[in-house]
Amino acid sequence: MKKLLFLFAILFSATAVFAQGFKPVKMDSLVTVSLPANYNEKDTLGQHIFSATTDLGYVITIVEPNARTNEPLKKAKDLNKVFDKYVAGIQKQSGNGSAQNVRDTTIGTLKGKAFTLITDDGSGNVQYRDFVLIYTKEATYTLQFGYPDTRKELVKAESRAYFGSIKLSPQLQRNDQYTDLNSTVSEGNTNRILEIGGGIIVLFVIVWLVFLRKRSVSLE
């Protein structure tokens, strides 16, 4: 019976997505995402905001131009710092929200950050907000899909229809995020060297302790 209910839930959520008719919408000249046909569009404090209610939740996409005075990011670690700052800011704005499953992701040729913000008003009303962040030297894109805890097993089709529809212009390349494209490789190599070096030190300590133990036993 449970399996039948689960299959029905998947079928219902998939049918809802297709019935609602997600359609490609240009966020700007470089980024496109699919939204329900009934979406709203407005400009607020320099931000271009697209929002819509879905059958099971809601979506919000924000395009925010970056300040022209911002220095270009140089390395991949600088981009990670920007993402960390955005995640912390969103979590703080939510009040009691907790950012969970924070992870790196890739959209086309660009690096992004994905996470889920969970809020609880204390009366059992738990809300989920899935985020994908994209940063370029010209603008920051924040894509959000929100839904209540009671629907978290039903929203997967809508979530895929939304986040999976993100399309980037071929003009956008990794150097639109940071200038030193070799930094990711070099930082990765440095981490591997540190890991190998740490492993060798630990192995040496273990061998040395075993040697000392055998030596003390032989002296007895």
* Total domains in the fold of the chain: 2
Q: What is the mean pLDDT of residues 189-212?
A: 54
Residues 168 and 189 reside in one and the same domain: no
pTM reported for the whole predicted model: 0.75
Residue 61 one-letter amino acid: T
Residues 131 and 197 reside in one and the same domain: no
Q: Give the DSSP letter string of 35-85.
A: EETT-EEEEETTEEEEEEE-SSSEEEEEEEEPPTTPPPP-SHHHHHHHHHH
Element (H, E) at 185: helix 183-219
What pLDDT, on the 0 to 100 scale, is given for residue 205? 56
What pLDDT, on the 0 to 100 scale, is given for residue 70? 86
What pLDDT, on the 0 to 100 scale, is given for residue 77? 95
Q: What is the mean pLDDT of residues 169-181?
A: 95
* Residue after which a domain boundary falls, among 176, 192, 212: 176
Phi, psi of 5 (to 5 degrees): -65, -40
Rg of the chain taking only CA atoms, in angstroms: 24
What pLDDT, on the 0 to 100 scale, is given for residue 124? 84
Within the chain, what is the greatest distance between any pair of CA atoms? 85
**Buried b or exposed e, range 104-132, using 16+ CB within 10 angstroms:** eeebeebbbbbbbbbbeeeeeeebbbbbb
Residues 93 and 159 reside in one and the same domain: yes
Residues 108 and 172 reside in one and the same domain: yes
Residues 11 and 84 reside in one and the same domain: yes
Residues 98 and 132 reside in one and the same domain: yes
Written as six digits, the tokens of 160 are: 């895929």
Q: What CATH number is attached to the domain comprising 141?
A: 3.40.1000.10
At a CB cut-off of 8 Å and minimum separation 6, what does 100 contact? 115, 116, 117, 118
Residue 165 near residue 25 (C-beta atoms within 8 A): no
Element (H, E) at 113: strand 110-120
Residues 202 and 129 reside in one and the same domain: no
Convert the pLDDT of each residue in 4-14 to its tens digit.
333 344 444 44
**Residue the block writes with tokens 């440095």:** 190
Question: Between these two residues, 201 and 32, which has the higher pLDDT value?
Answer: 32
Residues 33 and 140 reside in one and the same domain: yes
At a CB cut-off of 8 Å and minimum separation 6, what does 115 contact? 87, 99, 100, 101, 102, 103, 130, 131
Nearest to 87 by CA among 102, 107, 71: 102
Residues 96 and 13 reside in one and the same domain: yes
Residues 109 and 201 reside in one and the same domain: no
What pLDDT, on the 0 to 100 scale, is given for residue 14? 41
Convert the pLDDT of each residue in 14-64 to its tens digit.
444 444 589 999 999 999 999 999 999 999 888 999 999 999 999 999 999
Residues 148 and 162 reside in one and the same domain: yes
* Residue after which a domain boundary falls, among 176, 191, 206: 176
- Is the model's pLDDT at 2 over the cut of 50? no
Residues 172 and 186 reside in one and the same domain: no
Convert the pLDDT of each residue in 82-141 to its tens digit.
999 999 999 999 988 999 999 999 999 999 999 999 999 888 899 999 999 999 999 999
108: containing domain:
2-176
